[in-house]
Structure formats: structure tokens, C-alpha cells
Amino acid sequence: MDELDLLKRDWKKTEDDFPKLSYNDIYKMILKKSSSIVKWIFIISLLEFGLWLIISFALKDNKSMERFKTYDADLILIPLTVIGYVVLAYFFYLFYKNYRTISVTDNAKVLMENILKTRRSVKHYVAFNLIYLAVSVVLVMFIQFDQDEQFIAQIQQASADGELVKYYVIVILTTMAFLAIAIGVLLLFYWLVYGILLGRLNKNYRELKKLEF
Amino acid sequence: MSEELEHSFIEQLEKHQNIVHKVCRLYTNNQDAHNDLFQEITIQLWKAYPKFRGDAKFSTWMYRVGLNTAITLYRKKKRTIDTQQFDNIEFKIKSEEYDDTEEQQLKLLYSAVHQLNDIEKALVFLYLEDKNYREISETMGISEVNARVKMNRVKTKLKTILNP
């Protein structure tokens, strides 16, 4: 006899071994909150959108940003701000649309794909923000070198001391280090949070995909 | 959600609760984890219930939600991961009905099934529940041919575990 048929015979016999939950037991259960990964992805995604919004507002009130407003840089600053908000709105719409399509009654593969798609829209948003951050920092640096009195004075001083190259190298390296730390912290966050949340889903999705070949 | 909906849901789940128990039995290995997964499946069933259309059988619909919760949505708690417990799990094998060899074989089989990966377990589960390959393929989102191929591989795997 086939091993599985032997198992099937026993499987049916052991049905009565399960505890019988009462109407009230089930009622209590439906009042409790879910701890599914979809709920966590939703919460974490909202936090990510929130985080970038807070960062953009915090930068706005920053003193050096106030100084930046006095420069002749509207041509750069306004498009940058507009792009930032348009992209935020677009990604938020995409995220919400994908989130709404997640349904536990779809087949296993479609369900997994929809969850991964929702997660991906947030991932792309964060990637956009990192690129946006890097581009902004570079642009700000150029404008400051060109227009900021403090920077111009420092450049002149460095030039007079014959250390202009050293000055540029220090400023550029410091900026790059700041960017690298910011990106590093975010990547670590992703690796930890999504590794824990989606490890199982990814593994099972790969297994299902493997069956297609 | 209305009381009427709540009432009809609980009544149906109460009647078909063994399906959820069986999913939990395959995917967990202790009572705490079993209860935890049962709770999550119940919540997912309840959340999806307003969209449940009578054209499918409630029990058929439960298989899909139950398995989806177990293999995709549920986050295992650390305390439930303990492969050592497989052999001692409380599968009640009615020893008076079997000879020793068969009982031993069943113990090994249950233990072997627990060692399969999540997807293989889902296929075995649906097979044990008398689902045909069309239903298995629809639940998992794979083709019927692939479901058959995979099922045969699982059978071979189980045979190898039993007769090394």
C-alpha cells in the first residue's frame, strides 16, 4: 500500500481527537486582533511614508535650510520639492491600490505575489528617496560652493593657504560619509525587519515558482 | 459587521472546525502554536467572510483561507520552532487497531510529513483531504500537471524516509 494511503486512513480516524471549540470560544477569537504579516507590512509601510515626510518637514525648519532660501536657487529648489511630493502621492496611491488587492481567498501564488507587489512599491519609494537625497545633497553642495558666503570665505582661505584640494576632499568625503551612514542604517533596517517578516513567504514563493519549471 | 453575519459565521466554523485543526496539526508542533495558528486562521476567515459567496462550499473556502494563512500570512513565534518535538507529538494512534509495524510506520510517516516544506505539506494536506488535482492546483496556483509531478516526488520522498 502507498505510504500516503496508509496515512490517509489514519488521518480520517483521528478526526475525533481534536478539542471541540464552543460557539463562545470562537466568538472570543474573532474579537481578537490579527498578527498577520500583511498587517505588519501595512504598519511598517505607513511608518516609512511618515518617516520621509517628517524628514522633509524637519529639513524645512532647519536653520541652514533657512539660509539656503536666501540663495538664488529657486529654479532647483522648487522643482525638487514638487517632484518630492508628486512622487510621494504616486507611490502612496500605488501602495494603497496594491494593498487593497491582497485577498486571503486568492490562490496561494497570487496571494504571495500581491503581498510582494505591495512591499515592492514601498521599496521603490524608499529607493527613490535615497537617490533623491543623494542628488539633493550634491546640488546643495554645488550651490553652497557657489553662493554661500561662509563657504566662499573658507574656499578663499584654503586657496590662500594652498590647501584647496584638501578642503574639497574633506567636504566631499564628509558628505559622502553622511550619505553612506544614512543608507547603511536604512539597509540594515530593511534586512532585519523584512528578513523576519517575509523570510517564510519568500521561501514558499520560491518553492512554488520552482514547480513551474 | 451585523450580528446575523457573526452568528452564521460562528455556526459554520463551529461545524467545520476540524478543517482548521487539521491545518494547525500539520503546520505546528505543540499545543501553544496550534492554538495560536487556529486563532489567526479564525480571524482571517472572519475578515474574509463578508466577501464569501454562497456559490462555493464554506468548507472548500476554508481550505483556501486556512492554508493561505498557514503558509503565507502567519508569522511563526520563536517558541514553536523545535524539530525535536516531531517524534513526540501527540498524534494519537489507536494502537489496538494496528499491529506494531503499522503503528511504527505511521509514527514515522507523521514525523516525515512534518519535515516536508510548507508547500509540500499543503499538497499532502489536500491529498489527505481527498481533494483532486484540479482542486489542488486551483488552491495553490500551480498547474495540474505540476501538482501531480510534485505529489509524486513527495511520495517518493516519504518512501525514502520510511525505507532508507
DSSP chain B: --HHHHHHHHHHHHHHHHHHHHHHHHH-SSHHHHHHHHHHHHHHHHHHGGG--TTS-HHHHHHHHHHHIIIII----GGG--GGGGTT------GGGS-HHHHHHHHHHHHHHHHS-HHHHHHHHHHHTT--HHHHHHHHTS-HHHHHHHHHHHHHHHHHHH--
d(CA A10, CA A13): 5
The pTM for the full model equals 0.82
Task: For chains A and B, count residue pairs whose Cβ atoms are closer than 8 Å.
Answer: 161
pLDDT at res. A123: 86
Low-confidence stretches of chain B (pLDDT beneath 70): 1, 77-100
pLDDT over threshold 50, residue A17 = yes
d(CA A161, CA A178): 27
Contact between residue A37 and residue A201 where contact means Cβ atoms under 8 Å apart: yes
For residue A43, which residues of chain B lie inside 8 Å, CB to CB? Answer: none
pLDDT at res. A129: 86
- Give the model confidence (pLDDT) of A40-50 as tens digits: 889 988 898 88
pLDDT at res. B148: 94
Asked whether the beta carbons of residue A2 and residue B155 sit closer than 8 angstroms, the reply is yes
pLDDT at res. B145: 94
**Domains defined for chain B, CATH in brackets:** 1-81 (1.10.1740.10)
Contact between residue B23 and residue B66 where contact means Cβ atoms under 8 Å apart: yes
Asked whether the beta carbons of residue B40 and residue A34 sit closer than 8 angstroms, the reply is yes
- Choose among B72, B128, B159: nearest Cβ to A204: B72
- What mean pLDDT is predicted for residues A33-46? 89
CA-based nearest distance A27→chain B, Å = 7
pLDDT at res. B77: 63
For residue B110, which residues of chain A lie inside 8 Å, CB to CB? Answer: 7
Q: Is A203 on the interface with B (CB under 8 A)?
A: yes
Alpha helix segments (H runs only) across A62-107: 63-69, 74-101
- Give the model confidence (pLDDT) of A93-138 as tens digits: 999 999 999 999 999 999 999 999 998 988 898 889 888 888 888 8
pLDDT at res. B99: 57
- Give the model confidence (pLDDT) of B37-76 as tens digits: 999 999 999 999 998 877 778 888 999 999 999 999 998 7
ipTM entry: 0.82
* More reliable by pLDDT, A133 or A60: A133
Q: How many CA atoms within 13 Å lie on the side-chain side of A80?
A: 18
- Choose among A18, A26, A107: nearest Cβ to B21: A18
pLDDT category at A139 given cuts 50, 70, 90 is confident
Q: What percent of chain A has pLDDT over 70?
A: 97
Asked whether the beta carbons of residue A204 and residue B118 sit closer than 8 angstroms, the reply is yes
* More reliable by pLDDT, A67 or A141: A141
Q: Is A26 on the interface with B (CB under 8 A)?
A: yes
- Give the model confidence (pLDDT) of A158-193 as tens digits: 888 888 888 889 988 998 998 899 889 888 988 888
